[in-house]
């Protein structure tokens, strides 16, 4: 009976001891493939174990100082379990080739990020360039539209002015025609009175001299009035013709100025193109460019009268007639290089 009681007590104690024990930790996961995300997860897990070990160290010291053997043993078991977990967690980091594979993947990820950033930057730059080109096109279209509107308005004003001048001129010509018709009527009246006077004389009827004098005075008065009006209308016509000729001269002058302006702009554009071919684009020409000394040398005559005189003196030494067999005349502008004749030359030019 004592043995049976002792056995029951032992089984009870063992069941209570096993009930107080913590469940065994789960087996560690298999080592994952080397990747930045898995390495980050391993680092986070390892930091958690390290923090747990750091928290258990003061408890061990306190149990050791107080002489608490059971507490010290429990804390030691927990620390050893945390240390084993830590070793299991960091075990993939110690495998051969893990660090190199992680470095290669991190480098590939970095290059991928840089490539995506470069593509994004290029896309943004292309978009900005397209927006700038669209704005430039819109500005050119607006400028062209304003120029067309201005030309149409000028033509309308000229047409209205010409129509008004033609209207006034037609009125003056109508008045001149009326005056001429009235002069013809006066001459017809004189001829009619002369014929009637001759017919009356044949019949023996003679009008008094006062009647002839009154008729002649009236006719002379009307002729003087019509002559004055004719001179006035002729002066008005001459003034209108002078005004029309002045407007036409102004129009010809404006057309000539426009033509000269287009020629100057064309020559300026050609000069800019030649300068761009010889010295590069001025808008993108840095101050420290290797062609800057050559540019300063060949363009020094534009900034210094002494340099202009010296260069002209040097050129004048080689002046020859156009038909000289041993020379040719000085070219009027820059001598542009010819186009590349092969791919090698083209690559060197680019």
Range in 58-67, 99-108, 179-188 with the lowest mean pLDDT: 58-67
Quote the mean pLDDT of the chain: 77
Other C-beta atoms closer than 10 Å to the C-beta of 233 total 20
Per-residue pLDDT of 127-157, as tens digits, reads: 888 888 888 889 889 888 888 888 888 888 7
Task: Report whether 37 contacts 107 (CB < 8 A).
Answer: no
Three-class DSSP category at 104: helix
Structure confidence at residue 169 (pLDDT): 73
Please compute the mean of the pLDDT values over residues 75-84 and round it to a whole number. Answer: 77
Residue 284 has pLDDT above 50, yes or no: yes
- Exposed/middle/buried for residue 34 (C-beta within 10 Å: 0-12, 13-18, 19+): buried
C-alpha neighbours within 13 Å on the C-beta side of residue 273: 8
Phi first, then psi: what are they for 318, rounded to 5°? -110, 15
Residue 3: pLDDT over 80: no
CA distance 47 to 86: 9
Residue 33's pLDDT band (cuts 50, 70, 90): low
User: What is the spatial distance between Cα 102 and Cα 104, in angstroms, rounded to a whole number?
Assistant: 5
Mean pLDDT throughout 231-258? Answer: 80
Q: What digits encode the pLDDT tens for the residues 172-214?
A: 778 878 888 888 888 888 888 888 888 887 777 777 778 778 8
Residue 204, CA distances (Å) to 68, 199, 200, 211, 303 in order? 183, 9, 6, 17, 105
Q: State yes or no: pLDDT of 259 exceeds 80.
A: yes
Q: For residue 345, what pLDDT band results from cuts at 50, 70 and 90?
A: confident
3-state SS class at 97: coil
- The reported pLDDT for the residue numbered 27 is 46
Contact, 93 vs 99, CB < 8 A?
A: yes
Give residue 170's Cα distance to chain centre.
53
Token pair listed for 28: 């560690």
Tell me: pLDDT of 100 over 50: yes
Over residues 226-233, mean pLDDT? 83
pLDDT over 70 at 346, yes or no: yes
pLDDT band at 116 (very low <50, low <70, confident <90, very high): very high
> What pTM, to 2 d.p., does this model score?
0.34
pLDDT class for 29, splitting at 50, 70, 90? very low
Residue closest to 53 by CA, chosen among 22, 78, 26, 24:
78
17-32: b or e for each residue (b if 16 or more CB lie within 10 Å)? eeeeeeeeeeeeeeee
Tokens 């129509």 correspond to 163
Token representation of residue 13: 């104690």
Average pLDDT over every residue of 5-15: 61
């Amino acid at each position: 009976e004592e043995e049976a009681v002792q056995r029951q007590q032992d089984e009870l104690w063992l069941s209570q001891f096993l009930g107080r024990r913590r469940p065994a930790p789960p087996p560690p996961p298999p080592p994952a493939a080397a990747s930045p995300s898995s390495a980050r997860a391993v680092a986070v897990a390892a930091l958690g174990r390290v923090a747990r070990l750091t928290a258990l160290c003061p408890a061990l010291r306190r149990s050791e100082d107080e002489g608490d053997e059971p507490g010290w043993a429990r804390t030691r078991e927990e620390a050893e379990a945390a240390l084993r977990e830590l070793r299991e967690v960091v075990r993939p980091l110690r495998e051969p080739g893990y660090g190199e594979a992680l470095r290669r993947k991190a480098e590939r990820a970095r290059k991928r990020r840089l490539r995506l950033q470069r593509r994004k930057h290029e896309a943004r730059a292309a978009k900005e360039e397209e927006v700038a080109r669209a704005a430039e096109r819109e500005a050119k279209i607006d400028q062209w539209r304003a120029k067309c509107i201005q030309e149409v308005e000028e033509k309308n004003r000229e047409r209205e002015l010409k129509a008004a001048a033609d209207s006034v001129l037609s009125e003056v010509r109508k008045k001149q025609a009326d005056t001429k018709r009235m002069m013809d009527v006066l001459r017809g009246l004189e001829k009619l009175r002369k014929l009637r006077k001759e017919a009356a004389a044949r019949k023996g009827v003679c009008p008094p001299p006062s009647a002839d004098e009154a008729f002649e005075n009236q006719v002379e008065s009307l002729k003087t009035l019509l002559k004055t009006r004719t001179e006035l209308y002729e002066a008005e016509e001459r003034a209108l013709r002078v005004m029309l000729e002045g407007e036409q001269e102004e129009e010809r002058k404006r057309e000539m100025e426009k033509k000269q302006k287009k020629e100057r702009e064309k020559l300026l554009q050609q000069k800019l193109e030649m300068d761009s071919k010889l010295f590069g684009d001025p808008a993108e020409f840095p101050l420290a460019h290797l062609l800057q000394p050559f540019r300063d040398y060949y363009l020094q005559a534009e900034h210094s009268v002494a340099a202009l005189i010296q260069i002209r003196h040097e050129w004048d030494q080689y002046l020859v007639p156009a038909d000289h067999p041993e020379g040719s005349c000085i070219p009027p502008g820059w001598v542009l290089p010819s186009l590349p004749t092969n791919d090698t030359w083209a690559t060197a030019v680019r």
